A and B are shown apart, each in its own frame.
Chain A
Amino acid sequence: MEPILELRGVVKRFPGVTALDAVDLEIAPGEIHALVGQNGAGKSALIKVLIGAYIADGGAMRFLGSPYHPRTPLDALVAGIRVVYQEFNQLPYLSVAENLLFERLPRRFGILLDRETLERRATELLNRVGLSIAPGTRVEHLGIAQRQLLEIAKALSTTGRLLVLDEPTATLTPREVARLFEIIRGVRASGVTVIYVSHHLQEIFELCDRVTVLRNGHRIETVAVAETSATELVRLMVGRRLEAAAHAIEVAASEAGSAAPPTLEPALRVEGLRVRGSSHGISFDLNYGEIAGLAGLVGAGRTEALRAIFGADRRDGGEIYLAGRRVAFNHPMDAVRHGVCLLTENRKDEGLVLPMPLRVNLTLTDLARVSRAGILRARTERATARHWVEQLDVRFRSLEQTARELSGGNQQKLIIAKWLFRNASVLMLDEPTRGIDVGAKAEIYTLLRRLAADGKALLVVSSELPELMVLCDRIMVLSRGRLVGELRRNEFDEERILSLAYSEYMTGKKNPDP
């Protein structure tokens, strides 16, 4: 059978790096083809060349049997390629419906917006991806997962021949992922070919037909999913760094049980914490030397709880005790002063000052320590920054390199480093490994375990249950703003956690807050 898409020797160079080095690729019609590789392996570059966002420096492409050389994303659209981007291209101040149908808004008399038709069509599309929100909602009010689904709905709003999904599940809960897979299978059944990019290997085994592994801009291998295994794929992806990557997770898991016993006084005690607009109070303890997980569906109030404890958002009520002493965190400043820190889910916008050097990002949490009388001591600052980034094994070229130039995993390590520099003793981490590749994930796990072993208290929010189960000593489950259960390590069970997470949604009550 002739391939629907064919790449021959495609090359894409950037200053100082060859992102794609003579890549050959054949996509068969009607298949779901996975693209895997670590960050920087060339997946994004390949997709961007494919959709005309980058122009290839060499090689040839054929799509639907004829030469295909897109120069703009519009060319790709016209040719029949639909893309769900990793970064959202949404207009936050317009409604969901307007975003969905932006390119062809239904009109009345040629100029007036036909709101009725618009909302009807939008509702159809939203139903298709199982997103139950009013089409008139403004996009700025949506959560990240809802935006992701919206992006998918948009790609499906017109019929194409090839659908490209770039990390579509990074922000989704398992239920939403399952729903997405149904949709993708449906799309395939209607004759559309799918390219699926993901870090989640189990998703690939669940969904895809064939998988291509990229590493350092080279195509390493294309195999049928049925004929390979996760270990094999990881081996192909990481090359000779197999050892570190493949075993780190297991190591992390084995270390988890051996955490220091909880001290008498909890590091952090939260009593009756009410996030804004929620009627439920949350109470829990977090001990030194442990990693506690906070599980729940998207919108269960996990992020909100962390932000409220940290003082980043206002809260309606509740008390916080730190090592037995009552504290008032009204501003992140207060929390930081007491050694409590928050690593937000939105690393790039909230965790780092991307355009500024590593050095600056690291010392930002405690400038007093690298200055005297308000004047920075350049040498001390450099030495301090170097010490901490090396301590946490951040891979960097120069301390003057901007944070933006680091990969996701190294950015996360830099954020952890900046809090350790600040002597944080309680670390709250929101989705600490989102968008980070397998190898780096393992490193982060190992690092977090090490911190717990050093006596720090860690509170982790994650949408990936396996991650929490590997990492945590116990898992607390939030359902619709209410703390509905807590499981010790020996009780961990994916099904049980999920049923707890869904428990508050089963009772038929209307969701009080979006």
Chain B
Amino acid sequence: MKRMRRVLAIISLGLPLVLFVASVGKAEDTKKPVIGLVMKSLANEFFKDMQEGAVKHVEERGDLTLIPVGMHSETDIDTQINAVENFITKKVDAIVVAPADSRALVPPLARAIKAGIVVINIDVALDEAAKKQAGVSLAFVGPDNRAGAKMSGDELAKALGPGGKVVIIEGNPGADNAQQRKLGFDDSVKDGKLDLLDSRTAHWETEEANTVFSNMLTAHPDIQGVMAANDSMALGVIKAIDAAGKSGQIKVVGFDNIPAVQPLLKEGKLLATIDQFGSQMAANGIDYAMKALKGEKLEGWIKTPIKLVTAPGS
């Protein structure tokens, strides 16, 4: 029994390594440019879609090899750094990265640039100060989260009119897109002359949003509108409104346009959300990486499209 366990242990340790090496070998067989894609948590549908979109796009293009790497959780920064360093070792031609942390990823990416690798930043922009410190400049291909949040928030402001009493449900404190979206919502509050009663985090999660919003509603029974930094949290908020028997009396806007909110949009329980075409974002990044490899000079923020989604027919 003991020996068997030991054998199992060796296999379980060794297998991923073998697979990894095998995948590297495969990548280097070809003459086509090799692009490494560093993704965020694939447990998140948004990034899952993004990766699948990228893989499909690469198949259609057929003129490059893609090595995608995902993470287990939103905050698994180490895995990303390791992935970047592996890509440097493997001498890939370009890296497309959706950074989990806008500062921690800068030094390894700077090393990649110095090793002659083209780096394209997608999804969340790397920190300007950190880039300056590392002495690199690189292109960011991604949506304007702040502008998107403002579009969503403005829709709420339009529906409520000046003086409307609203609350914000924030994403993970510390996450860049959460901060950008919060700023966008704040812009809407200011421009729309709304009355912001409270703003709290629910860590992107449905259940926590449900709990937190229930309590906000108790503290402020006169809430008229909610801005949720993603649709998962908007889902939780809408359930809390239903449970409180205030369906239709409180308007909700979200962000991300996930499948689960489509029925709610139809029913009018969700006023608006933002589609940032996540499934195309990595594909876009890959296209830009290919352009850069062909000698095109890319710099600054290449904004990807975002679209306000409202109830069909409204």
The answer to A–B direct touch (Cβ < 8 A) is no
Binding site for A on B (CB under 8 A): none
